[in-house]
Structure 1
């Protein structure tokens, strides 16, 4: 009888603790799902052919303008690569 009175409250405590732990995970799971959906939507939007072509054209124009301004081809490429990396 004495063991049952200790075991039952211990089980209830563990159950409550597990339930609270799951509740704390829900916001993370919700936020993770929302972020995943947002990243998927952004990826699909950035994959639009017209947008990709416009970005490529703009990068090419920057590259050519840098060469025309006196930068070497290597320097111009490094600048364009750095600029493209910052935009993402």
Structure 2
């Protein structure tokens, strides 16, 4: 998940810089640059070791709770994967 976010952020930064070279001083370029910076900063923040560990612990607790609620391991894992995928 973090690798995907980092790739997207870097791609957006690259696209923004290419776009800026073609059209400087337009409001859309300003907005694209701001969005790229925001995504880059989020990627850095989400890469924090404590946050990554906390997210992993939360997913594990959800998985265990699903099993306790009666889901089998395969079903619980599918639900966790879907939950993790929707967080992107």
Scaled by the length of structure 2, what TM-score is found? 0.69
- Larger relative helix fraction: 1
How much has 1:87 moved relative to structure 2? 2.0
Q: Distance in 2 between matches of 1:26 and 1:48?
A: 34
Separation in 1, partners of 2:83, 2:51: 17
Which residue of the partner structure matches residue 26 of structure 1?
Answer: 26
Runs of 4+ off more than 4 Å: 22-25
Number of aligned positions between the proteins: 67
Cα-Cα RMSD: 1.9
Matched, 1:46 2:46: yes
The answer for unaligned runs of 5 or more in structure 1 is 1-21
In the aligned structure 2, how far is the partner of 1:67 from the partner of 1:85?
20
Give the gaps of 5 or more residues in structure 2.
Answer: 1-21
Higher relative contact order, structure no. (Cα contacts within 8 Å, ≥ 6 residues apart): 2
